[in-house]
Structure 1
Amino acid sequence: MKAIFLTAAALVSTVTLATSSPVKAENHNLVRRLQETRECAGCNLAGANLKNAHLIGVDLRNANLKGANLEGANLEGADLSGANLQSANLKEAFATGASFNNANLTNANLSDAKLYNVEVDGAVMVGTNINGADGFDINLGVGGGEE
């Protein structure tokens, strides 16, 4: 019985390593690509740790940043149009001139963020935390349904 349990445990840990390592390696490679080229449109960066990253002017259009940690990141002039930022942490992020048009900011944390001259037209902001955020000149499209 003990041998069967040990064999099963070894099999489960091997399967877990085989399935989780490539995702982390791919994510790490995409983060490195983003930092080197300043673009990663459509990339899957779900759960990526970009805390305090300098992402000035990056192209992250339609990227998957679900659950990503962007706390304190500099997103000045970044294009996050259509990005999935659901449950992402953007606490204390600096986003002057950034575009979040048509992005999914559901349950995102933008507390204490600096949001100057930001575009969020068409963004989904259900449950978005903006407590303590500082902003002005924000292009926020409201209403405008079809007649």
Structure 2
Amino acid sequence: MNANPLAMLSKASLAIAVLAAIGFNPSLQAANPQQVEQLLKTGECQGCDLSGANLSGQHLLGADLRNANLKGANLIQTNLEGADLTGANLEGANLTASFATNATMTLANLDRANLSQAQLYDTDVQGASMVALILDNTNIFNTGIGIGGGEETP
């Protein structure tokens, strides 16, 4: 069997490039596993690094996530009822079909967060940053998020 050394080198280079992109990318592996476990066990993780964490489908009712880093986290179908996300970084997080009734997101970073099909009832978003927030088919009630062009008052 004659193996082409150039082809082998190309495959090795590709493998190294893939590992470098996936295996060593801090944004993909930034969540602190101990802090994820702490959140799931206690419901408290104030100031934790949960960036990129997969919390899809979790029941985080009343969770204390003040100032937590949830940048790029997967929160699809997560129940955040009554959760305190004051000052949390949810930039680019996926909250599709999540439930955030009575949640507090005061001063949170919701830039580029996906809240499609989410339920936001009585959610406090005062002072939150919402640049390029995705709200496709989102149910919003008694929450400080305006959709469309409302009337301006002089």
CA RMSD of aligned residues (A): 2.7
- Matched with 1:134 is 139
**Deviation digits for residues 8-60 of structure 1 (CA, Å, limit 9, x no counterpart):** x8xx79xx7x9679x95962221110011110000000000000001000000
- How many residue pairs match? The answer is 132
The answer (yes or no) to whether the contact 1:119–1:140 under 8 Å persists in 2 is no
The answer (yes or no) to whether the contact 1:97–1:116 under 8 Å persists in 2 is yes
The answer (yes or no) to whether the contact 1:76–1:96 under 8 Å persists in 2 is yes
- Matched with 1:145 is none
Change (3 A) 1:44 1:25: closer
Q: TM-score, normalised by structure 2?
A: 0.75
Measure the CA separation in 2 of the matches of 1:26 and 1:63: 11
**Is 2:69 aligned against 1:50?**
no
Change (3 A) 1:68 1:26: closer
- Matched with 1:144 is none
Measure the CA separation in 1 of the matches of 2:29 and 2:92: 19
Give matches, 1:107-146, under 5 Å. 107-139=112-144
Q: TM-score, normalised by structure 1?
A: 0.79
**Is 2:71 aligned against 1:76?**
no
| Structure 2, unpaired ranges of 5+ | 147-154
Instruction: Determine which structure has more spread, i.e. the larger CA radius of gyration.
Output: 2
The alignment partner of 2:32 has SS state of helix
The answer (yes or no) to whether the contact 1:56–1:75 under 8 Å persists in 2 is yes
The answer (yes or no) to whether the contact 2:46–2:66 under 8 Å persists in 1 is yes
The answer (yes or no) to whether the contact 2:31–2:53 under 8 Å persists in 1 is no
C-alpha displacement at 1:106, in angstroms?
A: 0.2
Of Structure 1 and Structure 2, the greater helix share is in 1
